[in-house]
Amino acid sequence: MNSTRLFTLIFCGILTSTASFGAGIDLDYSRSSKRQYAEVKTFLVALAKAFPQNAKLFTLGDSDSGDKILGLQIGSGAINNLVVATHHGNEYGSTEVALGFARQIAENPVKDQTVFVIPVLNITGYNAKDRRESAKGTSFDPNRNYPGPCGTEGPFTLKSTAALAKFVADKNIVTSATLHTYSPAVVYPWGISTHDLTTGYESIFKGLVADATRESHYATGNSTEVIYPADGTYEDYAFQTHGIWSILFELGYSHHPSPDEVKTAVQVNVPGIRRMLESAPMQRAEKHTFAGKCDTSLVSLDRHDE
């Protein structure tokens, strides 16, 4: 190789890396199942640095791990929306989709919205690849840790869930996507132990889940019917307490997706999450208090595996 050719290669390499905002903001899916929270934080810092006009780091609050729960605030629109992943620490596929989504909207924010992305809520669980979160010498299922009209395993015995509840109230979050693995399905309230499943907003919710699944072709519908009843979940809490348009994503086909399966989950879900946020109402639902009857005989149907 002559020296001119070598120089051209090096120079073009520098240009290319500058144009793509440098290394560290493209996900290496071979790392998906091995990442620790420190690596997630490094990725968020790199994204904020690469797109300073659109994205900045924020702290949700302390977690029982002793670490801070971090997220990215992306865009500057007047409507505040939320994407939160990894209530369950073993569901790393949900973390990757949240990171892929943050990467996409950091480059191209959602118009008229500020979207808060929290890729990992349950830090001890994520580091240990454990569904539950450790606190006070024991552990809890974070997505049964919110108050609910038909019961809870909490409420708020974890700093993470208390911090998220305070956050959605303080920020006036209007629409929320909570990301889990795996069914695959995208569903809406009520997801609790009841036969009275309608909220009165079925046509809006059906539109949102249809928008969310145009690429993925996942199953859609009411949470209890498509998955199973579960009391004390974030998604029902957000709707019941605030009227937040609250959608639960069960992503992919496994709790142990391969790098290729993670990549596919990101590719087929990121456009849908974005479209759902773009088409969601600009204000919270007005009537959001559960008025039905709880049926405690349904509690045993909660498998605690999604």
Residue selected from 35, 103, 144, 180 as contacting Zn ion according to rule CB under 5 A? 180
* Nearer residue to Zn ion within complex by CB, 211 or 302: 302
Q: Which of residues 227-266 bind Zn ion (CB under 5 A)?
A: none
* Nearer residue to Zn ion within complex by CB, 82 or 285: 82
Interacting stretch for Zn ion, rule CB under 5 A, among 86-94, 167-175, 239-247, 278-286? 86-94
DSSP collapsed to 3 states, the chain: CCHHHHHHHHHHHHHHHHHCCCCCCCCCHHHCCCCCHHHHHHHHHHHHHHCCCCEEEEEEEECCCCCEEEEEEECCCCEEEEEEECCCCCCHHHHHHHHHHHHHHHHCCCCCEEEEEECCCCHHHHHHCCCCEEECCEEECHHHCCCCCCCCCCCCCCHHHHHHHHHHHHCCCCEEEEEECCCCEEEECCCCCECCCCCCCHHHHHHHHHHHCCCCCCEEEEHHHHCCCCCCCHHHHHHHHHCCEEEEEECCCCCCCCHHHHHHHHHHHHHHHHHHHHHCCCCCCCCCCCCCCECHHHHHHCCCCC
- Residue 241 Cβ, how far from Zn ion at the closest point, in Å? 20
Interacting stretch for Zn ion, rule CB under 5 A, among 6-14, 71-79, 80-88, 161-169? 80-88
- Residue 180 Cβ, how far from Zn ion at the closest point, in Å? 3
- Residue 143 Cβ, how far from Zn ion at the closest point, in Å? 6
Q: Judging by DSSP bridges, how do beta strands 219-222 and 175-180 pair with one another?
A: unpaired
CA–CA gap between residue 181 and residue 98 (Å, rounded): 12
Interacting stretch for Zn ion, rule CB under 5 A, among 22-30, 37-45, 83-91, 236-244? 83-91
Residue 144 interacts with Zn ion (CB under 5 A): yes or no: no
- Residue 88 Cβ, how far from Zn ion at the closest point, in Å? 4
* Nearer residue to Zn ion within complex by CB, 91 or 236: 91
Interacting stretch for Zn ion, rule CB under 5 A, among 8-16, 173-181, 206-214, 296-304? 173-181
* Nearer residue to Zn ion within complex by CB, 88 or 242: 88
- Residue 246 Cβ, how far from Zn ion at the closest point, in Å? 15
* Total residues binding Zn ion (CB under 5 A): 3
Interacting stretch for Zn ion, rule CB under 5 A, among 13-21, 40-48, 179-187, 231-239? 179-187
- Residue 26 Cβ, how far from Zn ion at the closest point, in Å? 26
Residue selected from 55, 64, 88, 265 as contacting Zn ion according to rule CB under 5 A? 88
Q: Which of 183, 187, 211 is nearest to 272 (CA)?
A: 211
Cβ proximity of 173 and 216 under 8 Å: no
Which residue of the chain is nearest Zn ion when measured via CB? 180
**Residues near Zn ion (CB under 5 A):** 88, 91, 180
